[in-house]
Copies of this chain bind each other. A is one copy, B any other.
Amino acid sequence: MTAAPRPTSSLTPEQVDLSCSMGDLALPHPMMTASGCFAYGQKFAPFMDLRELAGLSTKGISPKPRFGNPLPRICETAAGMLNSIGLENVGAEAFLAEKLPFLADLGISVWVNFFGEDKDDYVRCVEMLNAGKGKGIGVLEMNISCPNIKKGGIEFGTVPEVANDLTRRCVEASDIPIVVKLSPNAGDVPAMAQAVADAGAKGVSLINTITGMAVDVRTRRPRLATTYGGLSGAAIKPIALRMIHQVHRAAPDLPICGMGGIASGEDALEFLMAGASCLQVGTSNFAKPIAALTIREELRRLMAELGIARVSDIIGCIEPIPAEPAWSPTIPGT
């Protein structure tokens, strides 16, 4: 067990084909960046050539601009962090006018993450963002898990019927493919995935942050002003992998954009093998602005070492561990 099995036939990194596709969407490689962890892109320009990314997901956009939550908004936990930013954003209009042109020029897949205060507001947001069709918006990533939104927003992300209806209305209103970003706080995530797929979603993004909390024992107060926040980072990776695998098994044809603690090429490969078609890097961007690109190169090298020629060869490829020989109270053949 100690020695990792050596690859049967290993390749050179150049021989590895990283191209993949999320449904109809063809991507040069699987590595995108995640909503809320990449702002509107520009701020990363000093660190990297943004055109190297397969794509990016913007900070969540709402019809009207939104101020954020009071502070503190973030705190670190074991191998993770909690955030309660409050879905602060410039609003759809300003986004289209001031942020989209820059993103359009990059020529990468631009996913506009969006949400509304209520169902009508979601639809309004879609209608406003339709203006971005052909102007650079490739996908509308619909965030139905907004723990920070009051008005019964929780149900959007946890009740299949509600999610189905909301998704259908947005899909009908939209000229752009919609991918629904599911909440890991739902009791039955595969049911949620099926519900939004039935409503016409082109795929799902998994997972959003998991609601968590931390306590400052000195002040006797929560560490976040909103008490609860979203947990992200390596800590949630096993939960993300489980949900992605469950959804992929239940709906093999539904493309999944996987995320949740991805920080290395090996992490990325785990997600692909569990059933994700492409990937987003979130929290890792904060410590390392070029994380998505270093992960891409680690993935390339690891695939070469393991003799994996194409990303498309290994999506959802994991096989169960073979059963042990049947037990018997006596040693067979004695």
A positions within 8 Å CB-CB of B? 4-5, 67, 70-72, 77-80, 82, 158, 185-188, 210-215, 217-222, 225, 227-228, 231, 233-239, 241-242, 245, 261, 266, 269-270, 273-274, 302, 306, 314, 317-321, 323-324, 327
Contact = CB atoms under 8 A, between A and B. Distances in A.
A28 B87 CA distance: 45
B187 A214 contact: no
Contacts of A5: 218-219
Nearest to A266: B217
A188 B213 CA distance: 16
A161 B144 CA distance: 26
B269 A217 contact: yes
A314 B216 CA distance: 13
The dominant DSSP class at the A interface is: loop
Contacts of A72: 321
Contacts of A237: 77-78
Contact of A227 (B71, B231, B273, B320): B320
B213 A238 contact: yes
Contacts of A225: 321
A323 B71 CA distance: 9
B270 A217 contact: yes
Contacts of A242: 211-213, 228
B234 A78 contact: yes
A76 to B, nearest CB: 10
Top 4 nearest A-B pairs by Cβ distance? A187-B187, A212-B238, A78-B234, A235-B235
B321 A235 contact: no
B238 A274 contact: no
Given A213-B242, A217-B273, A225-B321, 9 more contacts: A4-B218, A67-B327, A79-B80, A214-B238, A215-B270, A217-B269, A217-B302, A221-B319, A231-B238
